[in-house]
Amino acid sequence: QVQLVESGGGSVQAGGSLRLSCAASGRALSGYVMGWFRQAPGKEREFVAHISRYGGTTSYADSVKGRFTISRDNAKNTVYLQINSLKPEDTAAYYCAADTQTARITMGMPSYWGRGTQVTVSS
């Protein structure tokens, strides 16, 4: 079993940047496909990005392409989400997730979730 803890959220103005981190413990991160999701108030949780076990493959939601970058450092057991050119509509709780299967990440059904970190963007 793997435990996930997100950090790096905060309140920023539109156009700003943040780097979210997701620290894993319990198992080696290299055994898992990782993803980031977000949930805005009153909305369903949505897929943001995924990265393969060794970082060779990534994918993004259309709404964040070109602004968000997912990366990982397996030696540090950490996954990152660099968020640039923030918009008010990016305001949400951001969650990291892990699974051994890519499809379960991209379909929003991962085995493991973190507790989330809040990102608030003001105009």
**pLDDT tens-digit map of 19-57:** 999 999 999 999 999 999 999 999 999 999 999 999 999
Q: Average pLDDT in the 89-114 region?
A: 97
Among 80, 110, 74, smallest CA distance to 94 is for 80
Whole-angstrom distance, CA of residue 32 vs CA of residue 19: 21
Mean pLDDT of 117-121: 98
What three-state secondary structure class fits 74? helix
C-beta of residue 114 within 8 angstroms of C-beta of residue 22? yes
Q: How many CB atoms lie within 10 A of CB 75?
A: 9
Q: What is the pLDDT of residue 20?
A: 98
Q: What is the pLDDT of residue 48?
A: 98
Contact at 8 Å (CB) between 7 and 20? yes
CB 1 within 8 A of CB 112: yes
Q: In the prediction, which pLDDT does 83 show?
A: 97
Question: Going by DSSP bridges, is the β-strand pair 18-25/46-51 parallel, antiparallel, or unpaired?
Answer: unpaired
Work out the pLDDT band at 63, boundaries 50, 70, 90: very high
